[in-house]
């Protein structure tokens, strides 16, 4: 293609303008998008659903400069020793633990929470509680003591007169988009341990808190350790366009997204279109399956302890064999009621079509005061759900919300999980070892247990703060497990040491 044949820059959009999607579909520019678009702006076409994403020039320029600083910092980081990275984690943790320093962060978080509440937004994950603060400090101190792994020998092959070594190396710039949870700072900073830099965008609700953390603790820690500012960068924009621009930047080595299913799927599509590898966790919801070797008390405990709060590994679907329904369904309902009472709320139940049982009749006859993000709703305590909708993740605030399915056998539960779920977390409650082994072999999930589901967490299970958990909804991960932690983001370089100058092929 000659210079004269190159496409001209897009400087305007017309209402109704056709846009090709995925090579075989057409969508059209809506009038409001055409009116908002200006010269210098960008238009991203999402190939999966045809969404047209408008990235204003100001957001594009902000992200371009921010990623550029991270790229430069990655080059510098390769020449800096592990002691400096350790010093950064220690300084960051010390500043968060210092009450005087933390006062400005706490004040910013209070403002964010008040503003979110005034706009009717959920603040469940936004509040920077003392426990969250302690977890951030503990996570950073954990990275300070964790082995680096940088330049570690993965494999060595000896030849006559020469040796081949494969050694770990930093991957590059990691782009990280997550919901408004301030504690994710510690998770994102973990990628420095393996020699990477990171650019992240936090949800707009928590942007004030994020700015305060950067100013009061993060940037001073980088300076104290002698690390470049660009090693950990914040996309300082409340606009979702900042996230789209970030994931569309081909300079990223990896794009990581956490949040709601639709938003994460969209971000993943933007990154893939730019040729950026992704680690996505958008849709969650754990499953518990009761086996033939089930103990009723242990089953009830697994349900109860999997419903303490709503996160990705919270119980979402429970499968009970029909032949055990008379003793297990009442135990399930009791655990669900107790979990709701613990939170001072009513429970909400969805019963899969064809899963009728006498113990469920009182639930269909009563109402529930269901606490959701936008307030309290008077709803039926139970309703019937189509089996095809078993993949729905219930996003509850205070009222535990679960689907119950009666199955003919564990094999049917496995088939439903593999076909309908996002394939994230599943537990088989059974004391039969042979049944557990058959289940482990048949179920298509990265996280498999035999009790409560809330164990799935990098910090809780492995002692390493996680960037995210990847479900298998969009395929399995290459060369690593479903927990993406800071020390698991690396590539491999190959180095040869030749001792015989006459080696030839």
**Structural domains of the chain in order of their starting residue, each with its CATH number:** 11-57 (no CATH), 58-282 (3.40.605.10), 286-455 (3.40.309.10)
Q: Are 427 and 148 contacting, i.e. CB atoms less than 8 angstroms apart? A: no
Rounded Cα gap, residues 137 and 93, in angstroms? 5
Q: Are 214 and 234 contacting, i.e. CB atoms less than 8 angstroms apart? A: yes
DSSP strands (E only) in 408-450: 425-429, 447-449
- Give 41's contacts (C-beta < 8 A, 6+ positions apart): 10, 54, 55, 56, 57, 60
pLDDT of residue 120: 82
pLDDT of residue 477: 66
The torsion angles phi and psi of 349, rounded to 5 degrees, stand at -125, 135
pLDDT of residue 485: 78
pLDDT of residue 479: 62
pLDDT of residue 331: 97
438's tokens: 């058959």
| Sites in the chain below the pLDDT cut of 70 | 1-4, 260, 282, 474-475, 477-480
pLDDT of residue 2: 56
Q: Model pTM?
A: 0.84
């Amino acid at each position: 293609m000659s210079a004269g044949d190159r496409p001209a820059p897009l400087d305007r959009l017309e209402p109704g303008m056709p846009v090709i999607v995925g090579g075989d579909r057409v969508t059209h520019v809506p009038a409001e998008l055409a009116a908002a678009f200006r010269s210098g702006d960008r238009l991203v076409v999402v190939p999966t659903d045809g969404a047209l994403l408008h990235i204003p020039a100001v957001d594009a320029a902000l992200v371009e400069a921010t990623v550029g600083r991270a790229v430069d910092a990655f080059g510098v980081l390769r020449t800096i020793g592990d002691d400096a990275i350790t010093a950064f984690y220690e300084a960051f943790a010390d500043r968060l633990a210092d009450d005087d320093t933390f006062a400005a962060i706490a004040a910013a978080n209070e403002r964010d929470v008040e503003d979110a509440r005034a706009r009717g937004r959920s603040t469940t994950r936004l509040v920077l509680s003392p426990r969250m603060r302690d977890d951030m400090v503990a996570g950073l101190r954990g990275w300070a003591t964790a082995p680096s792994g940088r330049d570690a020998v993965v494999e060595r092959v000896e030849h006559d007169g020469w040796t081949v070594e494969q050694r770990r190396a930093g991957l590059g710039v990691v782009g990280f988009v997550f919901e408004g949870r301030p504690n994710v700072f510690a998770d994102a900073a973990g990628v420095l341990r393996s020699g990477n830099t990171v650019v992240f965008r936090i949800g707009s609700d928590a942007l004030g808190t994020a700015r305060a953390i950067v100013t009061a603790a993060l940037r001073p820690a980088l300076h104290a350790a002698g690390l470049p500012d660009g090693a950990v960068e914040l996309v300082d924009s409340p606009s979702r366009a900042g996230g789209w621009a970030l994931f569309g930047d081909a300079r990223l080595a990896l794009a990581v997204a956490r949040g709601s299913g639709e938003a994460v799927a969209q971000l993943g599509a933007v990154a893939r279109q730019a040729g950026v590898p992704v680690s996505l966790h958008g849709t969650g919801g754990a499953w518990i399956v009761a086996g033939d070797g089930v103990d009723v008390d242990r089953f009830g405990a697994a349900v109860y302890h999997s419903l303490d709060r709503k996160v990705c590994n919270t119980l979402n679907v429970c499968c009970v064999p029909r032949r055990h329904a008379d003793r297990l369904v009442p135990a399930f309902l009791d655990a669900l009621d107790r979990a709701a009472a613990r939170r001072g709320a009513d429970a909400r139940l969805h019963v899969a079509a064809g899963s009728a049982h006498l113990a469920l009749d009182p639930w269909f006859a009563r109402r529930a005061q269901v606490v959701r993000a936008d307030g309290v709703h008077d709803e039926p305590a139970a309703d019937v759900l189509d089996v095809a909708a078993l993949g729905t993740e219930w996003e509850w605030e205070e009222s535990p919300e679960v689907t119950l399915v009666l199955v003919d056998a564990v094999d049917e539960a496995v088939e439903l999980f593999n076909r309908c779920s996002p394939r994230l977390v599943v537990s088989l409650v059974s004391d039969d070892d042979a049944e557990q082994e058959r289940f482990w072999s048949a179920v298509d999930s990265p996280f498999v247990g035999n009790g409560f589901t809330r164990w799935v967490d990098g910090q809780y299970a492995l002692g390493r703060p996680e960037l995210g958990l990847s479900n298998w909804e969009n395929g399995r991960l290459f060369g690593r497990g479903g927990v993406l932690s800071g020390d698991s983001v690396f590539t491999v370089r190959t180095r040869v040491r030749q001792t015989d100058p006459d080696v030839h092929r």
